[in-house]
Amino acid sequence: MKNKKSILTYILLFAGIIIVVNILSDRFFLRLDFTADKRYTLSEATKDILHSLNQTVTVTAYFSEEIPPDFSKVRRDFKETLIEYSNRSKGNVVFEFINPNKDEATEQKAMQEGINPVMINMRDKDQVKQQKAYMGAVLHYGDKKEVIPFIQPGAAMEYSLSTSIKKMTVDNKRKIGVLTGHGEASMNSMPQVMQSLSVLYDVEPVDLKDASLKLENYKTLIIVRPKDTIPDDQLMKLDQYLSLGKNIYIAMNRVDGNFQNLTGTAVSTGLEKWLEKKGVKVTPGFIVDQNCGSIMVNQQQGVMTFQSSLRFPYLPLITKFASTPATKGLNSVLLQFASPIEYTSTRNDVSFTVLASTSEKSGTENLPVSFNINRNWQEKDFPLSGLTVAGILSGKISGNLTSKIIVVSDGDFPINGEGREARQIQPDNLNFFVNAIDWLSDDTGLIDLRSKEVNSRPIDQMEAGKKAFLKYLNFLLPLLLIIGYGFFRWQQRRNLRIKRMNENYI
């Protein structure tokens, strides 16, 4: 009877402890982050933003329930992140979760707020069906509003939240200028870039012919794909701008490929000579790389015409990046008709850092070039490795103040295009561009969050030895733990029996 009471007491005590722990965990949030990239640890930039709040940020999260595990994990991670935001802001971030699928009125409200559903596959009784899923949030700060329409699994969740809050709370945005007047890509042709930059900056077109222009008001100047000649007096204005300690980002074409007549030609705007005087030489040649993108071509088979995808080495896929904030977290950037960059200066007050380079199997082709779509590429066509396609010139480039110039030898990689020719650019193309502008222009630290995402580490890409080790460890470790615990308990009981057999045992 006594034993039964003891067991009941222990059960009640254990249940009470669990209840208390649940109550405390609901009020106090603690999360230990053992991930290599600290994906669950708030950055200093986010902490600064949250500490500076003087009003309440209200987050309404629209998340569907009863969705597959990959998507429900996003909901759980988002909620845990919001709890941490609330704790760090001392209650200035409040949130609620709403299931839009519960009724039609709630679903309509979510869509009116800007949260659009996505179709996901659901398995129900051995059948696959599609269901609407909502995974977004609406933020309010005073009379300002920001929408995160969809939170992609594995995406940079902290960046989306922090930049949305920053955008609502910032009063005076820094100005960034986009050069115009020489056939450059327009702001309208780069909507993805402009949308990302507008979070922290006021982006304005800049015409160097304007006599009333005050370049000193712009933190960074952007030059994307000029086609016409830039006069010497305007290049002098760029030197004066650098002498103020300002920065310039240049994405330029030194060559141009024409898919209509399948030829490649040189591009000269005067910008290449201006850069060469500073020690940065963009050679007028085509980079070819075995690691490359593809093009769609029409092929004839009998009376049938169909499209097929062909790898095209003139579209290098860049995967080698320097360890800098501008390139942190990048996986692959697709370039179009890039050219090699060389640094030739011997000045001590200026340095050049390679930001991105080609693969181990790459090469160059000098002008003139005729594209042969059906060319059978061989190993000998890629005799070079690590050709520079992007770099940063830093130091006293012009005058006595430190300034920076980032040069990318492809002017098309950040451009969506306009009208029917518009296309989505790759995520890392966007990150590569905007990260670099943030590095040149912003000191809040948000640049570190843009590429902070859950990186896939598939086991099938591991070495065979490591894969086998993890396989047997996963299988044997639970068994070894059970056997070890059994041996420990057996040893305890054996020692107890020996003690009891001792004549002095009481």
Residue 230 has pLDDT above 60, yes or no: yes
Q: Please give the angle made by the CA atoms of 374, 380 and 383, to the nearest 5 degrees.
A: 120
| Token pair of 361 as six digits | 């199997």
- Predicted confidence at residue 32, as pLDDT, reads 57
**Among all chains, which residue has been given the structure tokens 């520079």?**
388
Positions of CATH 3.40.30.10 in the chain: 28-167
Helix (H, G, I), strand (E, B) or coil at 287: strand
Please say whether the beta carbons of 24 and 96 come within 8 A. no
Q: What pLDDT is attached to residue 448?
A: 64
Q: Round to whole Å and give the CA distance between 432 and 416.
A: 15
Q: Give the C-alpha separation, 289 to 287, whole Å.
A: 7
Residue 445 has a pLDDT of 65
Is pLDDT of 205 > 80? yes
Matching residue, tokens 């039609």:
104
Tens digits of residue pLDDT in 490-501: 888 888 777 767
Q: Above pLDDT 90, what percent of the chain?
A: 50
d(CA 292, CA 281) in angstroms, rounded, equals 24
491 or 82: which leads in pLDDT: 82
Alpha-carbon span 66 to 85, nearest angstrom? 26
Mean pLDDT of 368-376: 88
pLDDT band at 285 (very low <50, low <70, confident <90, very high): very high
Is residue 265 within 8 Å of 255, Cβ to Cβ?
Answer: yes
Q: How far is CA 271 from the centre of its chain?
A: 30
Residue reference for tokens 């679903």: 107
147 CB contacts (<8 Å, ≥6 apart)? Answer: 113, 114, 115, 136, 137, 138, 139
Contact present, 356 and 334 (Cβ < 8 Å): no
Q: Among 13-17, 301-305, 335-339, 377-381, which is the least confidently predicted range? A: 301-305
358 closest CA partner among 394, 328, 318, 392? 318
Considering Cα of 496, then 500, then 504, then 506, what sign does the dihedral take?
positive
Return the pLDDT at 474: 76
Q: What is the mean pLDDT of the chain?
A: 86
**Whole-number Å distance between alpha carbons of 499 and 505:** 6
Q: Are strands 333-334 and 93-98 parallel, antiparallel or unpaired?
A: unpaired
Residue 239, token pair as written in the block: 């030197």
Banded pLDDT at 456 (limits 50, 70, 90)? very low
User: What integer pLDDT is reported at residue 145 of this predicted model?
Assistant: 92
pLDDT score of 329 more than 90: no
Residue 19 pLDDT: 76
User: What beta strand segments (E) does 3-143 contain?
Assistant: 57-63, 93-98, 118-124, 127-133, 135-141
Query: Could you report the per-residue pLDDT of 147-194, keeping only the tens digit for each?
Result: 999 888 766 788 889 888 988 888 788 899 999 999 999 999 999 999
HEC per residue, 370-398: ECCCCCCCCHHHCCECCCEEEEEEEECCC
Q: Where on the phi/psi map is residue 26: left (φ > 0), alpha (ψ -120 to 50), or beta?
A: alpha
In the prediction, which pLDDT does 267 show?
95
Instruction: For helices 69-88 and 44-51, give the axis angle rounded to 10 degrees.
Output: 50
Alpha carbon of residue 447 to chain centroid: 9
Q: 174-445, superfamily in CATH?
A: Class I glutamine amidotransferase (GATase) domain (3.40.50.880)
Distance CA 415, CA 375 (A): 28
Q: What is the DSSP letter of 459?
A: G
Strand partners, 260: none
CATH 3.40.50.880 in the chain is located at 174-445
- CA dist 41 and 448 (Å) reads 12
* CATH 3.40.50.2300, applies to 28-167: no
For residues 338 and 5, the model is more confident at: 338
| 305 contact partners, CB below 8 Å, separation of at least 6 | 298, 299
The residues pairing with 282 across neighbouring beta strands, listed in sequence order, are: 341
Query: Quick one: 420 exposed, middle or buried, by C-beta within 10 A (0-12, 13-18, 19+)?
Result: exposed
The reported pLDDT for the residue numbered 454 is 45
Token pair of 195 as six digits = 């949308």
Q: How much is the pLDDT for 305?
A: 66
pLDDT digits (tens, 9 = 90+) for 241-261: 999 999 999 999 999 998 888
